[in-house]
Amino acid sequence: MSKICVLGQGYIGLPTALLFANNGHEVVGIDVNKRVVDTLKAGKMPFEEKGFQELLDGAIAKNAFRAKSLAEEANVYLVAVPTPFDSEMRMADLKYVISACEMIVPHLRKGNLVIIESTIPPQTCDKQVKQILEKSTLKMCEDFYVSHCPERAIPGNTLHEMVYNDRVIGGVDEKSTQLTADLYSSFVKGNLHLTTSTTAEMIKLMENTFRDVNIALANEFAQIADDYGIDVWKAIEIANKHPRVNILKPGPGVGGHCIAIDPWFLTENANNSSLIMMSRQINDSMPQYVLKMVKEMLAGIEDPTITVFGVAYKGDIADTRATPAKKFIKLAEKEGYKVKIYDPFVKEWCYPIMGLEKAVEGSDCIVVLTDHSEFREMDPRAFFEGMSNLNVFDTRDVINIKVWNKAKFNVKTIGKN
């Protein structure tokens, strides 16, 4: 059994802390946000996902988890704080990782293990983390151990993937790797892949960059297909029957906490990363492309009102971080459109979210930006009466075109025009 201090009680740190607590360890969850700590102290989850509350209840019942604001002595420190993108410098902003490591320094003792789960640029463990932790006067690899164990669970299915995904474990030396592997084997059922810290840092970024570049390719294919008047979705489906082809889906752009950010962590120190940067640019330009297509549909309508269906960054979750919907809405407003929003998952956002009927009232066009399952099954005859014009533009190929055509909608889909 280890005593583990987990710094950062967010989407990643909290479920990780609870998995350790439910599997034989004593865990202290540390967060600088008082609201998070108070909510946990009251036995409640600060955010919702499948299975989280049960895991918290289990950890509390075992007396294996408590939350507080300041770090304390432990055998293991696990860092899961944000690593946002500094858009001005085009670099990872490591201020939270640095402050978390500084919080550990006064408590660091011989034999301790420090694990960074936050996504970090290559060599962060070997350079910045080492430099800060050695302020304790202890020496890395002699007195204390460090590893990077990147988190690769997908939002929406976090718990399952935390337990069943393979894990990459990269220590700054072999002992760090082994200590970390022993610890994670207490709850991980996937394989543990042991490597160096710099390789582990690189692997995490490569995975998300691969996805970003693949989506950029799909988005470019969609625009080419629009020029030729063919259906890119069908074309991708058939191309993917090839045993060595796997093209992802086009859409309104790439959102979320990771895929739109992590590729930049690879470019910050690279001599040549033009493909990665170009892919970022293509994905970031998709809201403009969607607006161009919507404008074509609305030609001739004066002062149009549009209704956005879905502002979550992807389907069936309430997460709006870095959602491409925000850029689309800003561009549409700049164009002079009145924008109303419906999202069955998102309850509060920087723009007001309306009930379905109110959101479509007086609207000239529905623009589907998120692939929520509800949109797949939707029959517009249940709510379209108050609309001024019957147009729908689908950026996710999610609506049932036959059903919408029956309701007399003019339907357009990205990559299908």
Ligand X SMILES: CC(=O)N[C@@H]1[C@@H](OP(=O)(O)OP(=O)(O)OC[C@H]2O[C@@H](n3ccc(=O)[nH]c3=O)[C@H](O)[C@@H]2O)O[C@H](CO)[C@@H](O)[C@@H]1O
Ligand Y SMILES: NC(=O)c1ccc[n+]([C@@H]2O[C@H](COP(=O)([O-])OP(=O)(O)OC[C@H]3O[C@@H](n4cnc5c(N)ncnc54)[C@H](O)[C@@H]3O)[C@@H](O)[C@H]2O)c1
User: Catalytic residue at 204?
Assistant: yes
Identify the active-site residue in 101, 130, 204, 326. 204
Nearer to ligand Y, 81 or 260 (CB): 81
- Smallest separation, CB 208 to ligand Y (Å): 9
Binding positions for ligand X, 332-391, rule CB under 6 A? none
Q: Answer yes or no whether residue 208 interacts with ligand Y by CB under 6 A.
A: no
- Smallest separation, CB 15 to ligand Y (Å): 9
> SS3 for the chain, per residue?
CCEEEEECCCCCHHHHHHHHHCCCCEEEEECCCHHHHHHHHCCCCCCCCCCHHHHHHHHHHCCCEEEECCCCCCCEEEECCCCCEECCCCEECCHHHHHHHHHHHHHCCCCCEEEECCCCCCCCHHHHHHHHHHHHCCCECCCEEEEECCCCCCCCCHHHHHHHCCEEEEECCHHHHHHHHHHHCCCCCCCEEEEEHHHHHHHHHHHHHHHHHHHHHHHHHHHHHHHHCCCHHHHHHHHCCCCCCCCCCCCCCCCCCCCCCHHHHHHCCCCCCHHHHHHHHHHHCHHHHHHHHHHHHCCCCCCCEEEEECCCCCCCCCCCCCCHHHHHHHHHHHCCCEEEEECCCCCCCCCCCCCHHHHHCCCCEEEECCCCHHHHHCCHHHCHHHCCCCEEEECCCCCCHHHHHHCCCEEEECCCC
Nearer to ligand Y, 118 or 363 (CB): 118
Q: Answer yes or no whether residue 223 interacts with ligand Y by CB under 6 A.
A: no
* Selection from 325, 335, 343, 322 nearest residue 364 by Cα: 335
Q: Answer yes or no whether residue 325 interacts with ligand X by CB under 6 A.
A: no
Among 38-46, 52-60, 87-95, 145-153, the segment contacting ligand X (CB under 6 A)? 145-153
Determine phi and psi for 250, rounding to 5 degrees.
-75, 175
- Residue 314 contact partner, candidates ligand Y, ligand X, none, CB within 5 to 8 A by sort of partner: ligand X
* Selection from 368, 376, 373, 375 nearest residue 393 by Cα: 368
Q: Answer yes or no whether residue 67 interacts with ligand Y by CB under 6 A.
A: no
Nearer to ligand Y, 81 or 282 (CB): 81
Identify the active-site residue in 5, 149, 258, 365. 258
Q: Answer yes or no whether residue 94 interacts with ligand X by CB under 6 A.
A: no
For the record, the structure tokens of 208 come out as: 């998300």
- Smallest separation, CB 32 to ligand Y (Å): 4
Nearer to ligand X, 154 or 390 (CB): 154
Q: Answer yes or no whether residue 321 interacts with ligand X by CB under 6 A.
A: no
- Smallest separation, CB 241 to ligand X (Å): 17
Candidate residues 113, 132, 236, 248; the one interacting with ligand X per rule CB under 6 A: 248
- Residue 353 contact partner, candidates ligand Y, ligand X, none, CB within 5 to 8 A by sort of partner: none
- Residue 12 contact partner, candidates ligand Y, ligand X, none, CB within 5 to 8 A by sort of partner: ligand Y
Binding positions for ligand Y, 5-44, rule CB under 6 A? 7-13, 30-33, 36
Binding positions for ligand X, 207-246, rule CB under 6 A? 207-208, 211, 215
What's the CA gap between 286 and 222, in Å, rounded? Answer: 10
Residues that contact ligand X, how many (by CB under 6 A)? 19
- Residue 415 contact partner, candidates ligand X, ligand Y, none, CB within 5 to 8 A by sort of partner: none
For the record, the structure tokens of 66 come out as: 């408590």
Q: Answer yes or no whether residue 313 interacts with ligand X by CB under 6 A.
A: yes
Candidate residues 25, 130, 314, 416; the one interacting with ligand X per rule CB under 6 A: 314
User: Catalytic residue at 189?
Assistant: no
Active site residues: 204, 258
Contact residues: ligand X, CB under 6 A: 151-155, 207-208, 211, 215, 248-249, 251, 254-256, 258-259, 313-314
Contact residues: ligand Y, CB under 6 A: 7-13, 30-33, 36, 80-83, 96, 99-100, 103, 117-119, 151, 153, 155, 257-258
